[in-house]
Amino acid sequence: MSSSLQLSIESLEKGPIQLSGELPGSFLELEDDVTIRNISPVEYQLQAELKGSEVLVTGEVRVQMELECVRSGAFFSTIIEESAFLRDYSTEDSGESLNLSEDVREAVVILIPAYPVSPEAQSEDFELPKLPEKLRDKPEAHGKTPWSDLDQLNL
């Protein structure tokens, strides 16, 4: 991972710390996914505080990106946002600092829909574009349909 989000546990002894900023879109490691493009920087606004032997991190993480609609095949812009980011870390297992990077990445990636549908394709009057006549396969014209072989079975 090229960028990271580090937090010093020693700095938390003085009180809660506000963490805000941006990480590059490449931070999400989604470059090889052809259904996602134009990933904006990952914005985060987090608060970390020491609670006994635990570090509690709360806040928001958001990113804008374009996803390919599974219905229309067109790309549409959307915002992926984790508005209730909440993680706790044991200070005994962490050493001198915490790396929040993997949890921030996971918070975003897990919210990317497996089958994204654009708002236009969700509307009731959405119709798939018609194929040009010359591209339409008409097996019935040749006397054979995809079911012809099954129709011949004598069960």
- What is the reported pLDDT for 49? 93
Which residues of the chain fall below pLDDT 50? 1-2
Which segments within the chain are labelled E, that is strand? 6-8, 17-23, 36-37, 42-51, 54-68, 75-90, 97-99
Backbone torsions φ then ψ of 104, nearest 5 degrees: -65, -45
Nearest to 27 by CA among 102, 121, 122: 102
Statement: the pTM of the whole predicted model exceeds 0.95? no
User: Which amino acid, 19?
Assistant: L
